[in-house]
Amino acid sequence: MTLRAPERPARRARRRRGYALFALFAFPNLALIAVFAYWPILANLYLSLTSWDFISPEPLYVGLTNYTSMLASPSFHKVLWVSVVWVVVVVGISLVLGVLLALLFSRKLPGTSAVTGIVFTPHVVSGAAIAVVWLFIFDPNYGLARVVFEAFGADSPDWTTDADWALPALLIVSIWKGVGFVSIVYLAGIQGLPTDVLEAARLDGAGPVQTFLRVMLPLLSPTTFFLVITQTIGAFQAFDIIAVMTSGGPASATTTLSWFIYEQAFLRSNVGLSAAAGTVMFVLLMLITALQFRFVEKRVHY
Amino acid sequence: MADDRARTSRARPAAASPSRRQLLGAGLLAAGTPLLGGCFGLGETEGLVLEQPGGHVPAEFEDRQRVVIWSAYTAHNAEVIAANIDAFHAAQDEIYAEVQIFDSYDGVESKLSASLQARQVPDIVVLSDVVWNRFYLAEALEPLTGYFDTSFDTDAFDERFLDEGTVKDDIWWVPFGRSTPLFYYNREIFEAVGLPDRAPETYTEWSEWAKEVDGLEFDGNRVRMRAYIGGDDWYFSGAIRAFGGAYSDGLDMTLTTEESIAALEYDRKFIHDDGYGYLAADATGDFTSGACATVLQSTGTLSGIKEAATFDFGCGFLPQEVTTGVPTGGGGLSIMRYASAERKQAAWEVIKFLSSGQASVDWTLGSGYVPCTKDAVESEEIAQRSAEDPRYQVAIDQLAIAQGPDIARRFVPEMIVEAKNAIQSVYSAGEDAEKVLTRMEKELEPAVDRVREKYEQRVGE
């Protein structure tokens, strides 16, 4: 057992100064997080227990009515289904295409830098601008898609006005916009792989496909883990492309959770239900992220 | 093992009774609820005055009373308003009007809702024929009847349009950019297939004429008779009346009557059984490029179609069926109740200027909206334009049979979104009309219940 000597006044003063300095540095950030993250979450939680149209003098407390009616509604089930399809397809295809593109870029073929830049560009362009361009491309009467389909002797589908084609159309645009970012992150990951391991695989007789599947992909798992989390959160929040191209239609065919939240609040003036859907989205994202950390991270080779 | 025991022993009491942490959380939530509740809504509104939104006042107008207008008019229409506001600034030296532009009626509505929470309001707002009712129910609009005087009486406005903005003998919304849909048809296509140079008189006739157009090639396109618009239920709100149905009778929904179903079933058959029509991404663009022979579009689009079309086209009344079905639409002006008395009086002066004399004539000529003020109706310039191009006169003549929106469309905010969903389900996915309208009526029940009390209190039967 050791006894601690009483702290001397000078040391205590130094510690206090240290705490004060810490508080000084931390406070602005904590205040920002509290005001722009925690407060909106709490406020949203409160609003989800009310019935309010944004402009009435005060919200009316209705308990869990918004949650029960929303979770029992078939149209909300459809929204959840569309959201799941959206997230799985966007994240899945972006990752597969992204890693393949990164492999291609890592070979340093002539013109790679230019192509890399071109592939990355859609990521930095505004989603609204991209959506407007794709609306022209998809126009069945005078869009580029018509020319392509006519070359094969077929009619272009009514991409954004056919309930069966609208979601695939938006998925194409969303993947096209996001794949550049995924490929650049994967490229950075590939360039950071230990060359001796790849060399050893080659010496042991592993072919390119085997090397990619058995050596590179497992080594890239931290990158994949990072991308799965960020892309999943991003896909859940997709809004701009949907807003400009289809406004969630036709017949709710492209209404994801994020559009549903907007529609309820600003087009239907149903703030309570919108807030309840926001809370569902928050909980879903927290759950998905927690599950990913709990189960997927175990398979990550750092 | 020891670890498991410890975990179990900790878990059991928590399951039986709330832990200290849970109690603390519940206490915080209970204490926080009134605090959070106080953060939303305006609370007590008696005598409430809210600030003006920020902006920029040029140095030359610094001493004037500032009036902020939130406008939904963009592009060329915004230029016409700007010219009229410049004329207003030159005509007097007490008021400066600042126009802040939004992309649409929806844009103004969203921003106004948010600004009420931020405890700021503009002085004049452009609100659509539907949206103003919501702000009226929320008691956010200023009654305007008391502002009229002998120099600018209520007869300054078209009576029918002014009635739309009147509730319980008070005027809350004055007409500004009002419109109705018109029937546009491609004369060259009609002539090529031997159709008469007029709009069809009934929806049935329209359908019969469509057989003639079916399969025709025009400007490299396979022409279909009608391009449907799915992003707006306005046209369907007219058709449903023409078939003898309606969205509602008061707040009682009438979507599932035989007549209402017949209106949507007509569209389903037209598109999916007969293949005469389709849901368009850009109906106006398709009409002006010759991809479709006919389209229903706003009177406000007439000038734009004239500019874009490379062929001769005609305009006519909307078809009838068992009766007429011509909805009015567009926007009007309201003054916000929570502006100060000085701001409201100054705002009224701006409305007076924009709604009378040359400003009103220039606005009607420049925007393409139908004349809705006395000065515009009696204007020689507007009469001359109608004489030169009778298509403009069609819109004016059609006003005689036009009607404002059904009560549910006016006062139930979810109605338009649900109606758009319903028509898209039929136009796009070909769903059964009766099934869709039954679902729509059911989905709207809670929304109708939410406004019923306020509606009965503020509007009554």
What value does the mean pLDDT take over residues B276-288? 94
Decide if A179 is inside a domain.
yes
Each residue's pLDDT tens digit, A54-100: 888 889 999 999 999 999 999 999 999 999 999 999 999 999 999 99
Verify that A181 and A293 share a domain, yes or no.
yes
Interchain CB contact of A65 with B (< 8 Å): no
In a shared domain, residues A44 and A80:
no
Contact yes or no for B36 and A43 at CB 8 A: yes
Subunit contact B134:A162, Cβ cutoff 8 A: no
Q: What is the mean pLDDT of residues B233-252?
A: 97
Residues in Cβ contact with A89 at an 8 Å cutoff, skipping those fewer than 6 apart: A171, A175
> Which tokens is A87 given?
């997230």
pLDDT band with cut points at 50, 70 and 90 for residue B14: very low
Interface contact A56, partner B, CB < 8 A: yes
Residue A292: per-residue pLDDT: 83
Residues 204-263 of A with CB under 8 A from B: 247, 249-253, 263
| A67 within some domain | no
pLDDT of residue B218: 85
CATH of the domain at A252: 1.10.3720.10
Please tell me whether residues A158 and A282 are part of one structural domain: yes
Type of residue numbered A129 = A
Question: In this structure, how many other beta carbons lie within 10 angstroms of the beta carbon of residue A74?
Answer: 9
Q: Searching chain B, which residue's CA lies closest to the CA of residue A69?
A: B446
| CA torsion, ordered B15, B18, B19, B23, to nearest 10 deg | 160
Q: CB–CB of B128/B331 below 8 Å?
A: yes
Same domain assignment for residues A266 and A174: yes
Residue A4 lies in a domain: no
Rounded to an integer, what distance in angstroms lies between the CA atom of residue A190 and that of residue B209? 64
Q: Across chain B, what does the average pLDDT equal?
A: 91
Q: Is residue A68 part of a domain?
A: no
Give dist(CA A182, CA A202) in Å, integer: 26
Query: DSSP string covering A86-131, please?
Result: HHHHHHHHHHHHHHHHHHHHHT--TTHHHHHHHHHHHHHS-HHHHH
Q: How confident is the model at residue B279 (pLDDT cuts 50, 70, 90)?
A: very high
| pLDDT at residue B10 is higher than 70 | no
ipTM, two decimals? 0.84
Q: Which two tokens stand for residue B350?
A: 């701006």
Instruction: Output B215 or B191, whichever has higher pLDDT.
Output: B191
Kindly give the residue spans of alpha helices, DSSP state H, lying in chain A.
9-33, 39-47, 65-72, 74-106, 112-124, 127-138, 144-151, 166-191, 195-203, 208-210, 217-219, 221-236, 240-245, 257-262, 271-291
- Mean pLDDT for B363-377 is 93
Residues A120 and A149 in one domain: yes
DSSP B145: G
Question: Which of B226, B103, B237, B124 has its CA nearest to residue B180?
Answer: B237
Q: Are B210 and B270 in contact (CB under 8 A)?
A: yes
**A189 and A116 together in one domain:** yes
What's the pLDDT tens digit per position in B119-128? Answer: 999 999 999 9
Residue A66, in any domain of the structure: no
In this complex, which of B32, B113, B427 lies closest to A55 when CB atoms are compared? B113
Q: Which residues of B touch A46 (CB under 8 A)?
A: 32-33, 36-37, 40
**Residues A240-261, mean pLDDT to the nearest whole number:** 95
Q: What is the pLDDT of residue B30?
A: 63
Residues 97 to 136 of A: which have CB under 8 A from any B CB? 135
In this structure, the answer to whether residues A281 and A143 fall within a common structural domain is: yes
What is the 8-class DSSP label of residue A3? P
Shared domain check, A257 and A192: yes
- Reported as a single tens digit per residue, the pLDDT across A100-145 is 999 999 988 888 888 888 889 999 999 999 999 999 999 988 889 9
State both tokens at A72: 């029992």
Q: What's the number of CA atoms in the CB half-sphere (13 Å) around residue B382?
A: 28
Q: Is residue A1 part of a domain?
A: no
Domain contains A178:
yes
- Asked if A78 and A192 sit in the same domain, the reply is yes
Asked whether residue B9 carries a pLDDT value surpassing 70, the answer given is no
- Give dist(CA B440, CA B297) in Å, integer: 25
Residue B386: pLDDT over 90? yes
Quick one: A161 and A228 in the same domain?
yes
Domains of chain B by start residue, with CATH: 43-178+329-388 (3.40.190.10), 181-327+407-458 (3.40.190.10)
The whole domain housing A44 covers 9-61
Pairing of strands B124-128, B329-335: antiparallel
The whole-angstrom distance between A270's CA and the closest CA on chain B is: 8
Q: Is there a single domain that holds both residue A80 and residue A54?
A: no
Average pLDDT over residues B152-179: 95
- Tokens 């130094």 correspond to what residue? A14
Residue A237 domain-assigned? yes
> pLDDT (tens digit, 9 = 90+) per residue, A188-243?
999 999 989 888 988 888 888 899 999 999 999 999 999 999 999 999 989 999 99
Q: Contact B36/A42, CB-based, under 8 Å?
A: yes
Could you give the CA distance from residue A73 to residue B4 in angstroms, rounded to a whole number?
A: 42
Which pLDDT does position B38 carry in this prediction?
A: 67
Smallest CA–CA distance, residue B119 to chain A, in Å, is: 11
Among A235-239, B65-69, B246-250, where is mean pLDDT lowest?
Answer: A235-239
CB–CB contact B230 A250 (8 Å): yes
Same domain, A36 and A108: no
Of A61, A81, A97, the domain-final residue: A61
- The mean predicted confidence, pLDDT, of chain A is 90
Q: Which two tokens stand for residue A70?
A: 């929303």
- Phi, psi (rounded to 5 degrees) for A283: -65, -45
Task: State how many domains chain A has.
Answer: 2
Q: What is the DSSP string of B221-236?
A: EE-EEEEEESS--HHH
